[in-house]
Structure 1
């Protein structure tokens, strides 16, 4: 019985793994969403679009950090 449990557990764990291509695609989708959502805000606070600091701003921006002092 133990080998069957180990096999079932191993199969379940492997099914949850994504290939590097799938992980890259997921990252690209997430980044595109974040650019659409936070890109303009990062530019408004002074980051030049398509620079490393701007990308960092886009990736670390949070809706909880959005200022309401307009």
Structure 2
């Protein structure tokens, strides 16, 4: 699934999080703004939760102590 997202849509992993100890959620995004959200279990099976266009990443800036 990850290989297909990269080859067909030019999407790369942008974020990952754990739903529970058995499932992770991954967000894949392309420079053109297409995106796909996958859920993957510990057996390696993935399910597309959602996909679309127009992804915009929020910029976050960490506050550094003393600056």
For the aligned pair, the TM-score class normalised by the smaller chain equals under 0.3
TM-score, with normalisation over the residues of structure 1? 0.24
Flag the structure with higher helix content: 1
Flag the structure with higher strand content: 2
Which structure is larger by alpha-carbon Rg, 1 or 2?
1
